[in-house]
Amino acid sequence: MTVRLERVREMLKRTLGEIIRRDFPPGGDNGLITVSDVTVTPDLKEAAVYVGVVGKAAAKQRAMNQLNGNRGQIQFEMGRSIVLRYTPKIQFHLDESVERGNRILTILDELEKQEPAK
């Protein structure tokens, strides 16, 4: 990945995180939504945004529906904050890597408790 792509990727990640934190605060029906990663195409016209949602499956589904339903507004806000020739078209994807990591840690803790003291 070129230095420019990396800088744009980080800038998009930071800006989208701020927009989501401001417009989709945790609480109520929403879980906590975080931007875990952003990938961009070499022409900078498309961006895949990977979001993590803390909460139950229903909260995750609601959060993804809200993000996808408000994608145009989020893109508009992003375009106002970032100066690029083209505002990347964004696609949201649910990133469950944090949840998988927590599940692994829970299993390891349980195994450690089951192991007899030496």
If one compares 79 and 98, the residue with the highest pLDDT of the two is 79
The pLDDT of residue 1 is: 67
Q: Identify which of 100, 40, 42 has the alpha carbon closest to the alpha carbon of residue 50.
A: 40
What is the CATH classification number for the domain harbouring 81? 3.30.300.20
Which of 63-77, 81-95, 100-114 is predicted least confidently? Answer: 100-114
Tell me which of 41-50, 58-67, 97-106 is least confident. Answer: 97-106
Residue 32's pLDDT is: 83
102 confidence band (pLDDT: 50, 70, 90): confident
Which residue range is the domain that position 76 belongs to? 3-114
- What is the domain count for the chain? 1
